[in-house]
Each structure stands twice: as C-alpha cells, then as structure tokens.
Amino acid sequence: MPKKVGIAAVAQNAGVESKDNFYDQSYKITKEILDKAGLKREELETIISAASDIFHGGISCANSYYWETTGAFLKPGSRQDGESLFAFFYGVMRILSGDYDTALVIALCKGSENPENDACTLMYADPFYQRMIGMNETMAAAMQMRIYMERYGIAEEQCAKVVVKNLANALGNPYAHRKGRFTVDDVLGSDRIIDPLTQMQIAPKSEGMVALLLASEEKAKKLTSKPVWFRGFGNSIDHYYIGDRDLLDSPLKTAAARAYKMAGISRPRKEIDIAEITEPYAFQELIWCEDLGFCGPGEGGKMIDSGATQKTGDIPVNPSGGVLANNPYVSRGLQRVVEATLQLRGEAGERQVDKKMKTALAHGTHGFAGQCHAVAILGV
C-alpha cells in the first residue's frame, strides 16, 4: 500500500440511556475526541458521519443534527446511511486520496429513543411482500439459526455459551449496556420469544456515539505516540430476497478474503490476535468465526467449547462483550474498530486481553441474517 492511514484517537459513550439529547451527545463526543488528539476544530479537515435519519434516529435529517455537532461547519462533510464500518473505510479513502491529513469518522445512534430494533428492521423489508409477512432482522436470524443447528449439529447450549462469555466479558467494559455472570440455563430459560432464539440471545438496543480520528502517517505520529494502522478492508453483499440466499453461505467469506488479501494475511487464526465482531444474535458469533476462517465450516460450536475465543484463549473474540452487550445499531461496526484499537494500544482497561498483540480484526454486519458484511484489519 502506498500510504499508511493511522487511527490517532478514539472515543465512545456508554450504551445505557443518558440524560443528554442527541444534539448535545454528538457535540460532546466530538469535543472529547478532538481534545484527546489535541486537535482544534479548525484543524480538522473532513468529517464522515454514519447514522440512520429515520429508522434508528427518527429525529430529523443529517443537515440539522449531525453537522454542526460534529464540528463540520464550513467543512467538507459527507455521510454514510447505515452500518458505520463502511463510513470507516470512506474516511480511510479520504486520507488515502492525499487531500486530507485528518478525518473524523463518527457514528451516531441513540437507541434508547427508538422503537425496538425489530420495528425498525421490519422497515428494511420491502413493503409489497416481505414486510407483509412481518420479516425483520430477528425473524431472519431465527430461521438462520435453525438451519445452522440442523446442518452442523450445533447445540442450543453452544449458542448460549456465546452469551455467557460476552456478558461476562462486558463486566470489564464501562461502556457496555448489558453485562453480568449468567449460565447457559439462564440464557436458554429466558423468554422463548422467537423459537429457536430466546430473549438473552438477542442484542439489546443501546446508545452509542462512537468517534474515531484518522490521520495520514506523519500526522498520526504527531497526534499520538501509539498510532494504530489501517491494514485492510473488505466487504461483500448478498441477494436481497431472503429466499434467494443460502443462509449458511454468507458473503462474510468474500468480505474477509478481500480484507485478508489487502492486509497480507494468509493464516487468520494464527495471525489475528483479537477479533471484535458484530453478533446481534448469539449463534452468529459461531458462524462468523467460521466464515472469518478461525475454524472450519460447522466447527463454530466446537470452537466455543474449546475456550479459544475466551479472553484467555488463543483468539479472543469480543473481549468488550460485543454487540450482545452493547448494540447501538448503526454505530456497532465502528465501535468494533474502537474496541480493537483500544486492545492494540493496551488501553482497554479491565477488558484488556493480556498478551502481546500485533493484529486485530473488526467486523460489522447489517441486513437480514448477515446480508452485508464488512471486515477491517488493524495493526501496530
């Protein structure tokens, strides 16, 4: 790669409901990240925001709420609607263009204000057909889970173990919305709202103003003594009609292959030190681990059983607690990058993985049963 892009600073707020309104929260997180980097608003060159105006926002349009609060007055701001990991790459490209030395990528979501995620994702279904059936993200996931269990003999207990692991990890994460010590029985005994999924296997809806400051190589070195470098990105998109897809043949495999190629990674399980992945439904962490090449097809259950993805395992997955612990819908992908950055910098506090780290992976997904995926590779 001709140029290096560095992450110079990160900031996020807590997933629980805050007292502030959306406008002030956006301002505060922008102020926080600029202060951390010692950068004045006037020096910030470009801003990319990720948000959902209506479905996961409902408040107004981007022009009124997302620009002056993120320091964009008279600046070349641009935005991504939906999954914020795409906005991250958009910011990376702006630095790679050579026209900018600093770019603020900011994802804005105040889940506490929104209707339940299922009401929002129902609106992702086309109004002529799938929406009439009631299709939403949870329904698609429940169908995907059943095929996964049947095709590979995955047990519900193995899926539940993801919740047990992630919510325990979240005890070390002051930003996590949901956390605690639970058992597999707690998880499987929670309300069976959409069989085979139980309530605890489904991510909550959280707040999340998440910011990340990107900089060119020289600028990043000036702004921080611990820059984290962008190494690769890949994304991939499957068919829209859920019936057109094999729900176990996810486009994450092609997204990961693209990111690994760009980053020069040939043995992901060995070369990646920690992964922060988007698992709004517990079993999806198992499938995504397979698709990311951490284990073979159908081996996700065995992998969680082995302890490899625990904080102490050889490839810790979601030491932050992941999306099951904190689900600011639009911001969750960028939050994975922030968490991976904190791990690489050794600044993850109580959730810090205790080993020498060189490479981290961040993953985002949105759409029904993982219709769209994005993977970013970071390094130090």
- Judged by the rule CB under 8 A, the positions of this chain that interact with other proteins are 19, 54, 58, 115-116, 118-119, 122-123, 127-136, 139, 142-147, 150, 191-197, 239-244, 247
Contact 297, 147 (CB under 8 A): no
Tell me the closest approach of the beta carbon of residue 1 to other proteins, in angstroms.
Answer: 31
Q: Which of 366, 374, 328, 332 is nearest to 137 (CA)?
A: 366
Query: By C-beta, is 1 or 193 nearer to other proteins?
Result: 193
Asked whether the bond before 268 is cis by omega within 30 degrees of 0, the reply is no
Query: By C-beta, is 141 or 265 nearer to other proteins?
Result: 141
Tell me the closest approach of the beta carbon of residue 30 to other proteins, in angstroms.
Answer: 21
CA distance 260 to 377: 8
Question: How many angstroms separate the most distant Cα atoms in the chain?
Answer: 57
Query: By C-beta, is 1 or 54 nearer to other proteins?
Result: 54
Residue with tokens 């060119």: 216
Tell me the closest approach of the beta carbon of residue 241 to other proteins, in angstroms.
Answer: 7
Tell me the closest approach of the beta carbon of residue 154 to other proteins, in angstroms.
Answer: 14
Query: By C-beta, is 198 or 206 nearer to other proteins?
Result: 198
CA distance 361 to 349: 19
Tell me the closest approach of the beta carbon of residue 244 to other proteins, in angstroms.
Answer: 5
What is the β-pairing status of strands 359-366 and 274-276? parallel
Query: By C-beta, is 81 or 118 nearer to other proteins?
Result: 118
Residue with tokens 């600046």: 75
Contact 346, 97 (CB under 8 A): no
Query: By C-beta, is 156 or 291 nearer to other proteins?
Result: 156
Tell me the closest approach of the beta carbon of residue 283 to other proteins, in angstroms.
Answer: 12
Contact 265, 271 (CB under 8 A): yes
Give CA angle at 221 (215, 224), nearest 5°.
Answer: 90
